[in-house]
Structure 1
Amino acid sequence: MARAALTREEVLEAAAALVRQHGPDALTMRKLAAELGTAVTSIYWHVGNRESLLDALVERTVADLDTIRPRGATPAERLVSVARALRRALRERPHLVAMVHERGLTERMFLPAQRALVHEAHAAGLRGARAARAVRAVQFQVVGYVLVERNRERAPAQSPAEEELWSGEDAESDDPLARALAAPIDTERLFVDSVRALVDGLLAGAPGDTGDGGVGRGPYSQ
């Protein structure tokens, strides 16, 4: 059965998948053509040369982050939801995000998330410099957290491991604390807890503040 006509979007999706899995160095026109079961000339016809393809992938990545939509009943919940969505987006496409950064489009990539954060900061009653600080604080929290996660994931095996380093004595006789620090990290829950605490502090005293930050307290509510 003959293959249906190839589309530009199919080429970009296949190219993005290769970059996500193996990094940009693994993306060659020949390998991409093989993945799609087509001729190299067909790839060139749809996206131009390799540099044009990389540029198109960068533009596509920037556009992908424009799909972040706040969720939740209160501005605080929606601020947390934007942070969670941004973290997921960055973690799902690290190589593509690096390509965006290398082409000097990082600020443009973050603009849609910033706009969503601005809207929710305004809804919470923040204005001016205080709203700007809230937007930057949430953005930096997300980016910094993702960088720490990536660094931990790529680090060599640790010896002694974290679970071997903590004892009741090290934790000032707090055995439950020692056990918790020795346990595997629930990175999702830690992220949500840290963003909620940050948002609570940022919104404290704002006209729309309810006194508890207005953030739902379920461990993974969004």
Structure 2
Amino acid sequence: MARTALTREEVLETAAALVKQHGPTALTMRRLAAELGTAVTSIYWHVGNRESLLDALVERTVADLAAITPHGRTPAARIVSVARALRHELRARPHLVAMVHERGLTERMFLPAQRALAQEVHAAGLRGTRAAEVVRAVQVQVVGHVLVERNRERSPAQSPAETELWQTATTDPPDPALTRALAAPVDPERLFVTSVRALVNGLLGPHGPTPDRRDG
């Protein structure tokens, strides 16, 4: 027996979950209706056809990324917090982000984070071209890091032995601690935070204090 109580938000939430897990091709009206325990006609009544549903999911994704809020005691720390939040959001919904990109709304999706970054760059004392360069550099760092992470996840696992890391090295003798660390699995979150903090600190220069690790 088909259920009668259904909301548009329920439909969008379930559709988003299907896309997140299986990609846009897995989202059919019949499958969505089955997930919700309702009739296909009920789905059409709430969200229209499949293209309208996809448009609604894109708008929902754009709205989700607009909810990023800076945290921290200094502009540098708050810039790092925006970068971390943006990375998390992009990592959490790759299929939905791809849909936004395919519909030509990438710039709109990044606009809220860009505004937040611009505000903190201004608070750090930068203006004009230099301020724009900082905002763009942070955005590129986030997007580039996410792309590298995804490529690594799709590639076969690679765990070189410690001796392999130094076959062509010029350091003599090798640094045992460094060798062990390089042979260990990468912590993507820690690597990202380290790189973005270094980037922000270098770009702000004398206009902003060194980011406080406790604020990240």
Q: TM-score range by the shorter chain?
A: over 0.9
Tell me which of the two structures has the higher relative contact order, counting C-alpha pairs closer than 8 angstroms and 6 or more residues apart.
Answer: 2
Distance change in 2, residues 1:18/1:171 (3 Å): farther
Which residue number corresponds to residue 165 of structure 2?
Answer: 166
RMSD: 1.8
Distance change in 2, residues 1:4/1:72 (3 Å): farther
Distance change in 2, residues 1:217/1:167 (3 Å): same
- Higher helix proportion (structure 1 or 2): 2
Which residue number corresponds to residue 216 of structure 1?
Answer: 212
Contact 1:168 1:175 in 2 (8 A): no
Deviation of 1:176 after TM superposition, in Å, equals: 1.4
Deviation of 1:4 after TM superposition, in Å, equals: 6.1
Deviation of 1:217 after TM superposition, in Å, equals: 1.9
Q: TM-score, normalised by structure 2?
A: 0.93
1:11-22 alignment, distance < 5 Å: 11-22=11-22
Contact 1:16 1:57 in 2 (8 A): yes
- The secondary structure found in structure 1 opposite 2:9 is helix
1:196-215 alignment, distance < 5 Å: 196-206=197-207, 209-210=208-209, 213=210, 215=211
Which residue number corresponds to residue 92 of structure 1?
Answer: 92
1:135-175 deviation line (CA, Å, top 9, x unaligned): 000000000000000000011344xx334632487472122
Which residue number corresponds to residue 8 of structure 1?
Answer: 8
1:177 aligns with 2:178: yes
Deviation of 1:3 after TM superposition, in Å, equals: 4.7
1:180-209 deviation line (CA, Å, top 9, x unaligned): 100011111110000000000111021xx2
Which residue number corresponds to residue 23 of structure 2?
Answer: 23
Q: TM-score, normalised by structure 1?
A: 0.91
Which residue number corresponds to residue 51 of structure 1?
Answer: 51
2: distance between equivalents of 1:216 and 1:136? Answer: 22
Unaligned runs of 5+ in 1: none
Which residue number corresponds to residue 106 of structure 1?
Answer: 106
- The residue identity in structure 1 corresponding to 2:24 is P
Unaligned runs of 5+ in 2: none
Percent identity between the two aligned chains: 75
Contact 1:166 1:179 in 2 (8 A): no
Distance change in 2, residues 1:139/1:4 (3 Å): same
Which residue number corresponds to residue 127 of structure 1?
Answer: 127
- The secondary structure found in structure 1 opposite 2:206 is coil
2: distance between equivalents of 1:186 and 1:57? Answer: 31
Number of equivalenced pairs: 213
